Amino acid sequence: MRSLSDPKGRKHRKRSGASVEQSTKPDRGFWIVTAILGLISLGGILYFWMIPTVEPWLPPEGGHPGDQVDWLFRFMASSAALLYTYVVGYIIYFAIRFRRRRSDPDDALGVNLHDNPKLEAAWTIVPTLFVILLSVLSIRIWYVLQVQPTNGLVVESIGRQWYFTFRYPDVNGEVTDQMHLPVNVPVTLNLTSGDVIHSFWVPDMRLKEDMIPGIINTIRFTPTRIGTYQIICTEFCGTGHSEMNKQVMVVQPMAAYQKWYHGWQLRNAHVTNALATATLGGKIQLAGGNVAAGKALFNEKCSACHALGPFNQRIVGPGLLGVLHDPSHPNLVNGDLAVPANVAEILQNGYTGSIGHMPNQAQNGLSNKDIANLVAYLNTLK
Ligand code: HEC
Ligand SMILES: [Cu+2]
């Protein structure tokens, strides 16, 4: 009540009323700023549209749909340049234009605006349509990459700690050094992993897809540019992860490709077709186990569950001091005689008994050589 009849209050209301009229009409300054922002964003759009021709950080596309991926990138990046320039530009402009002046009274209020249905409808509908457009454009490329069938070459790549191997139709076993492909032939590439999650990335082809144990991810593409392109793992996969950038994809004319391919057919003629992981189960050569390497491995992979104490000193599993040399411990947990070959067998196959679960070779991530080293080390404990 008081404020309505208060002459001071009335004066106040009048002033803010006046400033509403002043500020909702775009003035000359506004249009000048709008034009300047237009020029800046035009610069951004041109920059992105000229990539990769002028930009060394983005290599030229080596294949299809890499060209489409780049088109989408340019489109998204230049749209973002436009949006960003205007949003940030107007924020800065308005912050300066409508700043509090020294002459303003202490209790001056900002302009109080309500409801602009046209504007609100526009800023709801336009971005919605734009996002729908982006998803349609993206799904079209995703379809080409992942779904559209091709009747070209089928190649598999398997990520391993810490290299890639490749499997080709009618080549036994795995190709272990490079991946060769004939130019302009569509490729269906099946990706998986023999151990942990890796990710297959060929920047020149604009291809990137995870390699996951037990899952086959497929990508389809057609290399169109002869050359040698780096293959990089982009999923941290252990201590050797940074080594997984040494292999290449070689795109070459059909005749050269066939020569290379027949070379591997001959070279692998007597190799088994089983994956290398399946051969891990074979008999383990214990001779030549390295004690120092075994000790390092033990500290890395076993000491969380096993103490270097007597059998009764448990963490998760029993203490392993004297596992092979304790007269009061003639047998292992599975009842077998405490001799190196039987320890190796437990490391290979794991064991679940009254104490708990001892992981097997694959779960502990051990190679046959690792097991030999570990057994050599355990054999020194007394
Ligand atoms: C997740 C915990 C865990 C990890 C990791 C683990 N173990 Fe075990 N281990 C066990 C358990 C539990 C047992 C006992 C199983 C039972 O008898 O119930 C066992 C048993 C054993 C035995 C048999 C011991 C005996 O006296 O008979 C050996 C040898 C052994 N582990 C070695 C290793 C080595 C070497 C590693 C590292 C590569 C390792 N373990 C990693 C849990 C683990
Ligand atoms: Cu990797």
Q: Which pLDDT belongs to residue 109?
A: 79
pLDDT tens sequence across 22-31 = 456 778 889 9
Q: Residue 52 has what pLDDT?
A: 61
What is the pTM (predicted TM-score) of this model?
Answer: 0.57
- Average pLDDT for residues 68-82, to the nearest whole number? 91
- Separation of alpha carbons 241 and 358, rounded Å: 27
What is the C-alpha separation between 294 and 349, in angstroms, rounded? 18
CA 211 to ligand 2 centroid distance, Å: 8
Rounded to the nearest angstrom, the distance between the alpha carbon of 318 and the centre of ligand 1 is 7
Report yes or no: 363 and 281 within 8 Å, Cβ to Cβ.
no
CA-closest residue to ligand 1 atom 27: 332
Q: List pocket residues of ligand 1, CB cut-off 6 Å.
A: 298, 301-302, 304-306, 311, 316-318, 320, 323, 332-333, 343, 346-347, 351-359, 364, 366, 374
Of residues 270 and 100, more confidence is placed in: 100
Out of 306, 321, 360, 361, mutate this one to test ligand 1's pocket (max ligand atoms within 8 Å of CB): namely 306
Under a CB-based contact definition with an 8 Å cutoff, are residues 244 and 226 in contact? Answer: no
* Ligand nearest to the CA of residue 294, numbered in listed order: 1
More confident residue, 5 or 232: 232
- Is residue 142's pLDDT more than 80? yes
pLDDT, tens only, 148-201 = 877 889 999 999 888 899 999 888 888 888 999 999 999 999 999 988 999 999
Tell me what pLDDT residue 59 has: 82
Residue 149's contacts (CB-CB under 8 Å, 6 or more residues apart) are 220
User: Model confidence over 227-236: pLDDT tens digits?
Assistant: 999 999 999 9
Which of 326, 346, 352, 358 has most ligand 1 atoms within 8 Å of its beta carbon, as the pocket-test mutant? 358
Domains of the chain from N-terminus onward:
25-101+114-146 (no CATH), 153-277 (2.60.40.420), 291-378 (1.10.760.10)
Percent above pLDDT 90 for the chain = 47
What is the rounded average pLDDT of the residues 357-372? 85
Q: Measuring CA to CA, which residue among 362, 354, 364 is closest to residue 318?
A: 354
